[in-house]
Amino acid sequence: MNKILPKKILCFITPCRHGTKKRTSMIASIQAAIDGGVNMVQIRQKDANYEELINFTNMVLKLVKNTTLIMVNSETPINIHGIAGTHFPEKTDSKTLYSWPQNKIYGQSVHSVISAKIAEINKINYVIAGTIFPSSSHPKGLISGTKLIRDISKEISIPVIGIGGITQNNAMQVIESGASGIAVISSISKYKDTYKASKLLADAIGI
């Protein structure tokens, strides 16, 4: 997997599901979301142990197209054959990136300009910044508005992806503020028709 990111990114972050059976039930929804325009899937299953995470990731890998980047959310690098790379929380110290597998993509969540600049210095390939709008997944999160995207995009050269309360109605505001893409959870997962939900988002940002 090379380090080429799409010019515009629609990232679907998988909602946390407890238990193998519930995770497996998400596979069809993920496939439909990819067909609808999702070009990055971030596997985020905080309650899963390492073996469960590997098994679920491999199930997702079986259904993706070569153009879909599969990222695994983890505090440490994950080296599974076929994934694009690892996405880290803000608290992960990315200064040790030089010792990680160099053929992978590394992303990091940030909530400030300073964190974004540190991520770039540490050779992170992209950042996900938020919370942009009120979000059901982070109801107590500090709302930054699109100003955070504008401020970060002025200071770093790596892609910035907005997250938090983004819908088809406000997605273009995020792009116009300097973001290279958007990341969503419920704006896709809460709908039965995840193909349609992702298609509307993809159309909204011009994918």
Confidence (pTM): 0.93
Per-residue pLDDT tens digits for 11-64: 999 987 766 677 777 898 999 999 999 999 999 988 888 888 999 999 999 888
Per-residue pLDDT tens digits for 77-114: 888 899 999 999 999 888 777 678 788 999 999 999 99
Q: Which helix (H) or strand (E) holds 11?
A: strand 9-13
For residue 9, give both structure tokens.
């990114």
Residue 1: pLDDT band with limits 50, 70, 90: very low
Given a contact cutoff of 8 angstroms between Cβ atoms, the answer to whether 107 and 119 are in contact is no
Given a contact cutoff of 8 angstroms between Cβ atoms, the answer to whether 165 and 133 are in contact is yes
Q: Is the pLDDT of residue 139 over 70?
A: no
Q: What beta strand segments (E) does 24-144 contain?
A: 40-43, 69-73, 85-88, 105-110, 126-129
CATH fold of 9-205: TIM Barrel (3.20.20)
Q: Where are the domains of the chain?
A: 9-205
Q: Report the C-alpha gap between 36 and 24 in whole angstroms.
A: 20
